[in-house]
Amino acid sequence: MELTNSYKRIVFVFIGGIMLFVLCGCQSTNYPVDFEQLSEEERIVIRFSHVVGEETPKGLAARKFAQLVKERSGGYVEVQVFPNGFLYKDGEEMEALSNGDVQMIAPATSKVTSLIPEWSVIDLPFAFNSIEEVHDYLAGPVGQELVSKFDSQGLLMLGMWDNGFKQLSNRDYLIRYPEDLQQLKMRIMPSDIIDKQFSIAGAVPMKIDFNVVFQHLENGDIDGQENTLSNITSKNLHLLQNYLTVSNHGYLGYTLLMNKQFWDELPEDVQVLITDTLVEVNEWEWETARKLNDEKLMELEDCHCIDIYHLTSEERQVWEEAFQPVYNYYIKRFGAKYVKSLPKFQENSTYE
Ligand code: LMR
């Protein structure tokens, strides 16, 4: 598979950073040959918890990572994947990672904002025009500043996994303009910036765990929601919604995080195994995410089970103008630095 420049850059930046940790001195081991005889205590077990289904970009990549690490270490290193919030739910997994109850998680960047609020720059509506722009932003100096903020939290960011762009859905009517959101109870992820975005449009944003969105839609506690197509379909949310607006108004991706103390205590060859495997898995995940969201759009078009509308570029312009106060709000809280570096504010931007 041909590597894009953006991919090469981001891999270089992440892996370069991680290798610094690898080289700073940790015990070394050779994988025991007869691993089948080892108990769980004798193997290296990495518990990886996440909140989505297995057939999503994150779910599939977590499984692939586990499988490759097992194969390549002859079973000595075992990544145990716990999907669907089975072990820890939204709002619990970050603490579980910090406490060392799990060793790896991959929360959406929006959920990281409770710990590092500056990350909410990624949530700014219409901040990015393509996934490549997100990757470039994070590989650049300001993005790397965001990445390094995990250090002081005792966490190590091992990479960035994509899901895709969020779309809007609603039960009763089509959302075409910001004013269509008036009074709508919309499920959002826990991010102050997303909250602001919906409040400004007159909606009632409701922070609800991903795993219970279906029930809340079913009970009529909420009217609509925003998410990527693979997340929407993985939980059958579209079956409870009649209108889908392909708005691509915000990016949803994941910070792949490991407990730093656990990482530091890993033998050097295991660290190398993990970083090498992730080079491959991260690229695979990006491609899978893109494919899955395209496929899900086709499936939704074919099922005729939801009315699908694509925002025109004129309509998109109206949304962008309406959301300008959200940018002002972010700048007031965190300064202009993170916003000014967004690709849409660069001179050679292709942003419409
Ligand atoms: C959500 O809560 O909608 C997403 O963060 C779920 C996920 O992890 O993709």
For atom 3 of ligand 1, which residue has the closest CA?
210
Q: How confident is the model at residue 351 (pLDDT cuts 50, 70, 90)?
A: very low
If one residue of 160, 231, 237 were mutated to test the ligand 1 pocket, choosing by the most ligand atoms within 8 A of its CB, it would be 231
Report the chain's mean pLDDT, rounded to a whole number.
91
Identify whether residues 334 and 226 lie together within a single domain. Answer: yes
If you measure from the C-alpha of residue 109 to the centroid of ligand 1, how many angstroms do you get, rounded to a whole number? Answer: 9
| pLDDT score at 36 | 63
- pLDDT one-digit tens code per residue, 261-290: 999 999 999 999 999 999 999 999 999 999
Q: How confident is the model at residue 17 (pLDDT cuts 50, 70, 90)?
A: low
Mean pLDDT of 325-334: 97
Q: Which of 148, 116, 142 is nearest to 127 (CA)?
A: 142
Does residue 3 register a pLDDT over 70?
Answer: no
- Ligand 1 atom nearest 189 alpha carbon: 2
Is residue 261 a part of any domain in this protein? yes
Identify whether residues 194 and 333 lie together within a single domain. Answer: yes
| pLDDT score at 24 | 43
If one residue of 227, 229, 251 were mutated to test the ligand 1 pocket, choosing by the most ligand atoms within 8 A of its CB, it would be 227
Distance CA 157, CA 136 (A): 16
| pLDDT score at 321 | 97
Q: Are 291 and 184 in contact (CB under 8 A)?
A: no
Identify whether residues 267 and 321 lie together within a single domain. Answer: no
For atom 2 of ligand 1, which residue has the closest CA?
210
For atom 1 of ligand 1, which residue has the closest CA?
210
Q: How confident is the model at residue 6 (pLDDT cuts 50, 70, 90)?
A: low
Is residue 352 a part of any domain in this protein? no
If you measure from the C-alpha of residue 309 to the centroid of ligand 1, how many angstroms do you get, rounded to a whole number? Answer: 23
- pLDDT one-digit tens code per residue, 41-61: 789 999 999 999 999 999 999
- Ligand 1 atom nearest 227 alpha carbon: 3
| pLDDT score at 147 | 98
Of all residues in the chain, what percent carry a pLDDT higher than 70? Answer: 88
Is residue 49 a part of any domain in this protein? yes
| Number of separate domains in the chain | 2
If you measure from the C-alpha of residue 74 to the centroid of ligand 1, how many angstroms do you get, rounded to a whole number? Answer: 33
Distance CA 177, CA 169 (A): 13
Report the pocket of ligand 1 as residue ranges, CB < 6 Å: 51-52, 58, 90, 108, 163, 189, 210, 227, 231
| pLDDT score at 21 | 45
**CATH number of domain containing 214:** 3.40.190.170
Is residue 126 a part of any domain in this protein? no
If you measure from the C-alpha of residue 76 to the centroid of ligand 1, how many angstroms do you get, rounded to a whole number? Answer: 31
Identify whether residues 221 and 260 lie together within a single domain. Answer: no
- Ligand 1 atom nearest 111 alpha carbon: 5
Domain of residue 59 covers 5-113+131-162+253-287
Least confident of 21-25, 106-110, 124-128, 230-234: 21-25
Q: How many residues does the chain have?
A: 352
| pLDDT score at 40 | 74
Identify whether residues 172 and 308 lie together within a single domain. Answer: yes
- pLDDT one-digit tens code per residue, 281-325: 999 999 999 999 999 999 999 999 999 999 999 999 999 999 999
Identify whether residues 135 and 271 lie together within a single domain. Answer: yes
If you measure from the C-alpha of residue 106 to the centroid of ligand 1, how many angstroms do you get, rounded to a whole number? Answer: 10
| pLDDT score at 274 | 98
Is residue 179 a part of any domain in this protein? yes
Q: What are the phi and psi torsion angles at 101 (to 5°)?
A: -70, -30
| pLDDT score at 298 | 98
- pLDDT one-digit tens code per residue, 61-96: 999 999 999 999 999 999 999 999 999 999 899 999
- pLDDT one-digit tens code per residue, 151-206: 999 999 999 999 999 999 999 999 999 999 999 999 999 999 999 999 999 999 99
The pTM of the full predicted model, rounded to 2 decimals, is: 0.90
Is residue 151 a part of any domain in this protein? yes
Q: Are 275 and 158 in contact (CB under 8 A)?
A: yes
Q: Are 290 and 162 in contact (CB under 8 A)?
A: yes
If you measure from the C-alpha of residue 231 to the centroid of ligand 1, how many angstroms do you get, rounded to a whole number? Answer: 7
If you measure from the C-alpha of residue 62 to the centroid of ligand 1, how many angstroms do you get, rounded to a whole number? Answer: 15
| pLDDT score at 14 | 53
Q: Are 19 and 279 in contact (CB under 8 A)?
A: no
